[in-house]
Amino acid sequence: MKILLAIDDSKFSESAIQAVIARGHTEDTEVRVLHVVEPPSLLGVGDMGGYDPAIEVVWEEETKQAQVLVAKTAETLRSHGVTVTTSVQQGDSESTIIGASEEWRADLIVLGAHGRKALSLLWMGTVPQAIALHARCSVEIVRIPSGRGGESVQNGREFTLAASGGAVMKATALKAH
């Protein structure tokens, strides 16, 4: 099985990394750790609307930080016996993740769910949702455990599974004691 693990430097991605570690791995399981560095915002253009070279410096620095992040993640996964490759790409997160999954022929994309309120989801959507809708392979969107009626999920990780074709399910993975 080929698993594309799309990460950033958030706590949401840490949950996705832990979900990949928690999976049973066979000898033919491969994980590719991918971080996408998005282009700097156009709000950083020069005073008169021209090109500001500082933008490119920022983008290069973010790319270097991303390389450190994927290397650290790969090391963590390897310490759990997982076969890992890494990739840092520049571009739009949604299209880059989908493109990388197709090019590599991933069986599954795993990524963290960014916690957004319902109103912002209505207006903006999310990268995980867009990937779940447009990816040609299955997608696992891992959530950070949340409280339920004043109780927290102590022994599990809540996640959303989206299979090819857009079917969506919610589940909580529980650890046996």
CATH number (domain holding residue 33)? 3.40.50.620
Contact 88, 78 (CB under 8 A): no
pLDDT per residue as tens digits for the range 15-28: 999 999 998 788 89
pLDDT per residue as tens digits for the range 89-131: 999 999 999 999 999 999 999 999 875 544 444 434 578 888 9
Q: What is the mean pLDDT of residues 169-176?
A: 41
3-state secondary structure of 115: coil
What are the tokens at 23? 């999976």
Work out how many domains the chain is built from and give that number. 1
Supply the DSSP string of 45-112, one letter for each residue.
Answer: --TTS---HHHHHHHHHHHHHHHHHHHHHHHHHHTTT-EEEEEEEES-HHHHHHHHHHHHT-SEEEEE
3-state secondary structure of 99: helix
**Residue span of the structural domain in which 100 resides:** 2-174
What are the tokens at 97? 């993740």
CA distance 177 to 10: 28
| Eight-class DSSP state of 126 | -
Contact 128, 113 (CB under 8 A): yes
H/E segment holding residue 1:
none
CA distance 100 to 127: 15
pLDDT of residue 48: 54
pLDDT of residue 161: 52
CA atoms within 13 A on the CB side of 132: 21
Residue 53: phi, psi to the nearest 5? -60, -20
